[in-house]
Amino acid sequence: MIGRADPSAGADRPAAAGGDPARRAELARRLDVISERIAAAARAAGRDPAGLTLIAVSKTYPAEDVVMLHTLGARQFAENREQEAGPKVNMVTRLLGEPGGGPAAGGGGAPAGAGGAAGGHELTWHFVGQLQRNKARSVLRWADWVQSVDRSSLVGVLSRLAVERGRPLSICLQVSLDSWSDSGGRVGSVVTGSGRGGGDPMELAALADLVEEAPGLTLRGVMAVAPRGEPARPAFARLRAVAERLTVDHPQATVISAGMSGDLEAAVAEGATHLRIGTALFGERHGVP
Ligand SMILES: *Cc1c(COP(=O)(O)O)cnc(C)c1O
């Protein structure tokens, strides 16, 4: 399931990570705790834990932490700000000593299917933040997934850049659960823009078709953050309904990326497949949200 596969994996790696042993022990402990929480949530929901993917949200935490979690078995990582992520991913790549300079090395450098390949030492990087078109090029230097596609104007640019780099980009459509009442509760009419300007809200189905047809993009499913100030579970239930409808036309788009440190149990109960965990793995963040 969650990268706890083989505790000895990476143990023979010289301390390239330069990791502080106390921090490493803390991360190991936190990874155990969260893995157990996820397994318990799966059991409670009658689901197979193997169907759940843990994504470590490393924002505000240093490359060294990512490398240490990698030696502990984690393979999926997420960032939400391009300015922070670009240099961090480069540093992680350098620390892991992978040849070729990582994804930015250009066409053909990375193995096909890297977007979902969690089997080897290769990391999979997810972008989960608000994406501006003028940041798309930088994000595509390192991101295997963009989970925050919320408007049609992003699709063309992401497609063009993915084709240019010669490596497909996995896409989740970000669904706003806040604007649910604004949209009259109509399933699927909930594409976001997070309330920010510039969005062109449209039917989720239409956005999905657009992604599906775009060269270089692979439609994986949906992503959402639980709304503040209301219980998470009903919101995740709405997300599940949206996701189920999406798979009618796009049977391969089965990802439901939902659930964070505070609400993963509710997400698992409502069918989440990918859990984005920051605080519970790395500790409280200071400053930046
Ligand atoms: C920060 C962040 C997370 C992780 O949240 P925690 O509460 O720290 O687990 C998940 N998803 C997104 C989009 C985030 O920005």
The model's pTM: 0.84
Q: 81: domain range?
A: 7-282
Residue 248 lies in a domain: yes
Q: Determine the atom of ligand 1 nearest the C-alpha atom of 147.
A: 13
The domain tally of the chain equals 1
Q: What is the mean pLDDT of residues 254-268?
A: 98
Return the SS3 of 79. strand
Q: Is the pLDDT of residue 48 over 80?
A: yes
For residue 80 and ligand 1, the question of a CB distance below 6 A is answered with: yes
Residue-level pLDDT at 19: 76
Residue 144 lies in a domain: yes
Return the SS3 of 227. coil
Residue 289 lies in a domain: no
* CATH number of the domain within which 203 lies: 3.20.20.10
For residue 75 and ligand 1, the question of a CB distance below 6 A is answered with: no
> How far is 165 from 213, CA to CA, in rounded Å?
18
Residue-level pLDDT at 68: 97
Q: What is the mean pLDDT of residues 132-159?
A: 97
CA of 107 to the centre of ligand 1 (A): 31
Q: 186-232 pLDDT, tens per residue?
A: 444 445 444 433 334 458 999 999 999 999 999 999 999 999 889 99
Residue 2 lies in a domain: no
For residue 194 and ligand 1, the question of a CB distance below 6 A is answered with: no
3-state percent helix, strand, coil for the chain, nearest multiple of 5: 40, 15, 45
Average pLDDT, rounded, for the chain: 84
> How far is 223 from 44, CA to CA, in rounded Å?
22
For residue 126 and ligand 1, the question of a CB distance below 6 A is answered with: no
Q: Which amino acid is at 178?
A: D
For residue 219 and ligand 1, the question of a CB distance below 6 A is answered with: no
Per-residue pLDDT band for 40 (boundaries 50, 70, 90) equals: very high
Neighbours of 8 (CB within 10 A): 8
Residue 78 lies in a domain: yes
Residue 1 lies in a domain: no
For residue 130 and ligand 1, the question of a CB distance below 6 A is answered with: no
Name the closest-CA residue to atom 6, ligand 1.
278
Residue-level pLDDT at 97: 87
Q: Is the pLDDT of residue 108 over 80?
A: no
Q: Is the pLDDT of residue 284 over 90?
A: yes
Residue 108 lies in a domain: yes
Residue 150 lies in a domain: yes
Per-residue pLDDT band for 120 (boundaries 50, 70, 90) equals: low
CA of 54 to the centre of ligand 1 (A): 12
Q: Is the pLDDT of residue 49 over 50?
A: yes
Residue-level pLDDT at 188: 45
Name the closest-CA residue to atom 1, ligand 1.
278
Residue-level pLDDT at 98: 57
Residue-level pLDDT at 75: 97
